[in-house]
Amino acid sequence: MEYLPLYLIGLALTFAIAWSLGANDAANPTSCAVGSGIITLKKALILFTVFVMFGAVFQGFMVMKTLSRGIVPQIDFVGALAVVVSVVLWLLICTWKGMPVSTTHTTIGAVIGYGLIAYGEKINWTILTTVFLSIILSPLLSAFSAFLLYLGFKKILTKISEEKAEKLVRFMLIGALAFSAYSFGANDVGNATGVYVSVTENITGFPTPQTILFLAVLGGAGISLGGFTLGYRVIQTVGYRITRLTPITGLTAGLSSALVVWGFTTIPYLIFGWGLPISTTHSIVSGVIGAGAAIGLKTVDKKTVLEIVLAWLLTIPCTILISLSIFMLFSIIM
């Protein structure tokens, strides 16, 4: 039990990651409904809290497995601590600036930085290659599906009365928020807790299913708290600054993002045994851009999009360097 104090510090930092994740990424499921005026921020965050927890508990294990033992063979105590400190630092910087960055890519970059020092060539480049392909594919799919969904919904809604159309869109948008929050919990809770699966098993002796359930509840609680305390900063960026959302563009952006995130979480797990951690941030932002483009590219704020893309491009290289440096420092002093 000599590592117990270090483990408890790591758990506290894991909760801090989950809080940072919720603060930065609460915008992903909620921004479309809030930005289009369908629901208040407080009510959206309540729904977010409930369905994030469902997703974390029922499907969070699918991506936790990938981040715990997929990219590197195993993450030790010092490595887990270095990863969580790196993730918290980067997310806090970007959240304070109101930039919606990927917690997934932040965690992946931090794990790579640790793995380069700890394992060198033993990093699983096959899984990493698949993850990097999903980084490219998921936002493209989200933008394209949002564009097509907008055209499809527009065609269907013109065939019913305006009053019925408004009620239907409002109902579906709330449903899309709930589904998106569920998908978010399933995919992103692994970013907060995945690096501590092996460590928790070693410390507690719990079997893997119980370990994952414990970490899923811990991560889900932290995500919810982060959304309520600081989530509004990034929600304002995604919900109002990229394009002026209407109920129908909000619906198509939110639904397309939810489908993409859930698909990448579930389908690879059923086929290969591990879910793909993708960026829910990239998915929702791309969905908003795709929905805006369906109306007309002039409605999209290109300056805001450029700022967001720059933050995306910096995330993985910055977190690799931060994690690598912190792990080397911790290895010297511990």
In this structure, of 49-63, 99-113, 191-205, 218-232, the range with the lowest mean pLDDT score is 191-205
Cβ(264)–Cβ(120) below 8 Å: no
Cβ atoms < 10 Å from Cβ of 300: 18
306: CB partners within 8 A, 6+ apart: none
Cβ(260)–Cβ(227) below 8 Å: no
Angle of the 197-204 helix axis to the 208-230 helix axis, nearest 10: 120
What is the residue-wise DSSP string for 80-118? HHHHHHHHHHHHHHHHHTT----HHHHHHHHHHHHHHHH
Whole-prediction pTM value?
0.79
The tens digit of pLDDT for each residue in 147-196 reads 999 999 988 888 888 888 889 989 999 999 999 999 988 888 776 777 77
The residue segments making up the domain with residue 27 are 4-333
Comparing 153 with 4, the larger pLDDT belongs to 153
Distance CA 140, CA 143 (A): 5
Domain count, the chain: 1
Q: CA quadruple 67, 71, 72, 78: dihedral positive or negative?
A: negative
- Could you tell me the maximum CA-CA distance found in the chain, to the nearest angstrom? 69
Q: Long-range contacts: 167-170, Cβ < 8 Å, 24+?
A: 169/247, 169/248, 169/251, 170/38, 170/247
The tens digit of pLDDT for each residue in 255-294 reads 999 999 999 999 988 998 878 888 887 888 889 888 888 8
In this structure, of 47-61, 62-76, 139-153, 218-232, the range with the lowest mean pLDDT score is 62-76
| pLDDT value of position 319 | 94
